[in-house]
A and B are shown apart, each in its own frame.
Chain A
Amino acid sequence: MTTRLQERRQQQQKEHLANKSLGVSRWFSISMAALAWVVAALFFFPVFWMVLNGFKEEIDANTSPKLFFDPTLDRYSEVTTQTQGLLSFSEAFANSFLIVLISTLLVLFLAIPAAYALSIYPVKKWRDVLFFFISTKFLPVVAAILPLWVIAESLGLLNTRLVLVILYTAMNLPLAVWMLRSFFGEVPRELVEASQIDGATLGQQIRNVILPIVAPGIAATALLCVIFAWNEFFLAVQLNPVDGSTVPIWVTTNVSTRGNFLAKLSAASTLATLPVVLAGWVAQKRMIRGLAMGAIK
């Protein structure tokens, strides 16, 4: 413990010296830090304002902007207990959790072996295969929505959770394959070979040798998949607007053409974004590391 502290102190001293030798004045550092605070505050402000408005009475929200008011939790109880359209709060959240969880697990289940076949023992044309995966991300979803609708209807999948599970898996799979392939490049090949000589099957190799090494990368990948699936709106509104629908659809049911809805919409928006925002906050460092590996490896 003490050695780590000492190391850290030495490191700080070094940096301090480096700054001095650069001739960077203290005022420059302070003003840069101040600028960083200002920029971050500006970026965060709309989120702050949304959260704030969720605690207002409609009359306080639907007027020129107010910073001070009597905070209330009534909007939160309204949006969680009353159902505007056909979709209730608890239904939407349960559906979203289920759909996002299953599709992300499916993505990993399909992408991990694929990444193995693209990096550790690469197939001959691994580069073409990788490009194929990425190129599907360029196909506009909108261009496929009509046939998707027709196919889903003929299979009886319209308005089911299953259709969104399938499509979110397809939507995130290319990104996952691509990121995981980069992480798998970090695994020393000798380790895999050694376990192979010991007679480990593919599943055992992945579970015992590869997964422990690339766990942070897998976490970063899974998080990105969760973010994109949780936030997806277009496919949900076109293929599954009524029954078994998701949180983004529920948010829009709080927009009404009659009467004031700003405070209520803010409360609903805050609830809808909370799970992913919290997950992102917790995993941000891991995500930076994951993206770094994805960029250069």
Chain B
Amino acid sequence: MTTTSRKPSNSDAEQRSADESRDARRKKWLRRLPLLPALIFTIVVTQLPFLFSLWYSLTDWKIVPPEPRTFTGLNNYIEGYTNEFFLDAVIVSVIMTVSAVLLSLLLGLAVAMLLDREFRGRGILRTLMITPFLIMPVVAGLVWSTQMFNSTFGVLNWIITSLGFDAIPFVERFPLASIVVVLVWQWAPFMMLIMLAGLQGQPLDILEAARVDGATPTQIFRNLTLPLLRPYMELGILLGSIYLIQVFDHIEVITGGGPGSTNVPFFVFQRSIGGGWDFGQASAYAVIVVIASIIIATFALRLLSGLIESEATS
């Protein structure tokens, strides 16, 4: 395709095909061009730090006590893997994410079903319902811990003591459950929005036909509504897990990461700039977390590819 092929024996056809392939390549790049700014930006900002982490994780870089940084190979990984606190954090992360996502989804679906019927004030109710999702996580955590859960000023304990029971120090006794309650309070409204979108997309004529054929509401729900909602549920689970696996703010303001409520992000934070200052070790955890995330993401993306496939057929 280059200048070397410019011999007099070259036929015109060959020359043309060279031109064409250059043209095709140019077209290909033109096609890619609009994508490149976003792609390059994302790679630089999200992948570059990871390479740094990878390098730090192979050293014994500590701030306290300040020592010269030396290469230690896989030491941090071997230590990290056997650390029981890390394993605790993994378990907390799994419980927190799975329970918050599933509870939000179920609650969101239930509320969406309630709001998907004709009645007065439906718009106002939807407005009230979505508000928790719009609230800043830091504020949500603070409001719940100081004004709902609190033993002296909290509304929940005020109700409990008014009924003649002893006050329950929710956050102290059930740190993980308390955080999950606040997460569900924020994310069930988001799930409700997605489910409402799904319910409003139901073809009314099919529902009508099913009714005329004498299907019971339960049958309609199980055989028509649920299958139609499936892509919406998958979307909800995907978006919910992306954000809930990263929860940090709620933990910071509700329990401050005490025993039983430290998830993996918070654990890594504590080991590094959150007071541990053991950057080498913390980076090793970070790398482990990233690898685990990639494994989880692969599964989740398979779910997502189901979403995209269904588009191809529709």
Contact = CB atoms under 8 A, between A and B. Distances in A.
Interface of A: 15, 18, 21-22, 24, 29, 32-33, 35-37, 39-41, 43-47, 49-50, 53, 61-65, 110-111, 113-114, 116-118, 121, 123-124, 127, 129-151, 166-167, 169-170, 173-174, 177, 185, 202, 227, 230-231, 233-234, 238, 247-248, 251-252, 255, 262, 265-266, 269, 272-273, 276-277, 279-281, 284, 287-289, 291-292, 294-297
A20 B46 CA distance: 57
Given A18-B208, A32-B114, A43-B132, A146 B279 contact: yes
Contacts of A29: 117, 119
Interface stretch (B4-12, B80-88, B171-179, B289-297): B289-297
Given A46-B185, A47-B132, A47-B135, A138 B249 contact: no
Nearest to A150: B52
A15 B208 CA distance: 10
B13 interface: no
Given A37-B125, A227-B134, A233-B137, A139 B46 contact: yes
B268 A142 contact: yes
Contact of A140 (B47, B232, B246): B246
Contacts of A132: 39, 42
B42 A262 contact: no
B297 A135 contact: yes
Interface stretch (B15-23, B71-79, B306-314): B306-314
23 contacts: A22-B217, A37-B125, A41-B128, A44-B129, A46-B148, A47-B132, A49-B155, A116-B34, A123-B35, A140-B246, A140-B293, A143-B286, A145-B273, A146-B52, A233-B136, A233-B138, A252-B142, A277-B131, A281-B127, A281-B134, A284-B127, A288-B193, A295-B194
Contacts, number: 306
B146 to A, nearest CB: 6
Given A21-B212, A114-B38, A248-B138, A142 B248 contact: yes
Contact of B133 (A32, A134, A280): A280
Which of B33, B114, B135, B266 is most buried by chain A, counting CB atoms within 10 A of its CB?
B135
B138 A136 contact: no
Contacts of A281: 127, 130-131, 134
A210 to B, nearest CB: 12
B152 interface: yes
Given A33-B119, A36-B119, A262-B153, A146 B282 contact: yes
B170 interface: no
Interface string B179-192: 00000010011000
B38 A113 contact: yes
B269 A145 contact: yes
Contacts of B279: 146
Nearest to B113: A32
A248 B272 CA distance: 22
Given A64-B152, A117-B32, A143-B289, A273 B248 contact: no
B109 to A, nearest CB: 12
Contacts of B46: 136, 139, 144, 170
Nearest to B140: A46
Interface of B: 28, 31-35, 37-39, 41-42, 45-50, 52-53, 56, 111, 114-115, 117-122, 125-140, 142-144, 146-148, 152-155, 158, 185, 188-189, 193-194, 196-198, 200-201, 208, 211-212, 217, 231-232, 235, 242, 245-246, 248-249, 252-253, 264-266, 268-269, 272-273, 279, 282-283, 285-287, 289-290, 293-294, 296-297, 300-301, 304-305, 307-308, 310-311, 314
A140 B39 contact: no
Contact of B42 (A53, A113, A136, A277): A136
A45 B140 CA distance: 12
Contacts of A138: 242, 245, 293-294, 296-297, 300
A140 B265 contact: yes
B136 A248 contact: yes
Contact of B147 (A44, A50, A169, A202): A50
B45 A134 contact: no
A132 to B, nearest CB: 8
Contact of B248 (A135, A234, A262): A234
Contacts of A173: 38, 41-42
Contacts of B245: 138, 140
B246 A291 contact: no
Contacts of A123: 28, 31-32, 35
A295 B231 contact: yes
B136 A262 contact: no
B139 A251 contact: yes
Which of B134, B249, B268, B311 is most buried by chain A, counting CB atoms within 10 A of its CB?
B134
B13 to A, nearest CB: 27
Contacts of A284: 126-127, 130, 193
Contacts of A47: 131-132, 135, 143
A68 to B, nearest CB: 14
Contact of B273 (A43, A139, A146): A146
B198 A295 contact: yes
A62 B153 contact: yes
A196 B120 CA distance: 49
Contacts of B131: 43-44, 47, 277, 280-281
B45 to A, nearest CB: 4
B306 to A, nearest CB: 12
Contacts of A147: 48-50, 52-53, 56
A146 B35 contact: no
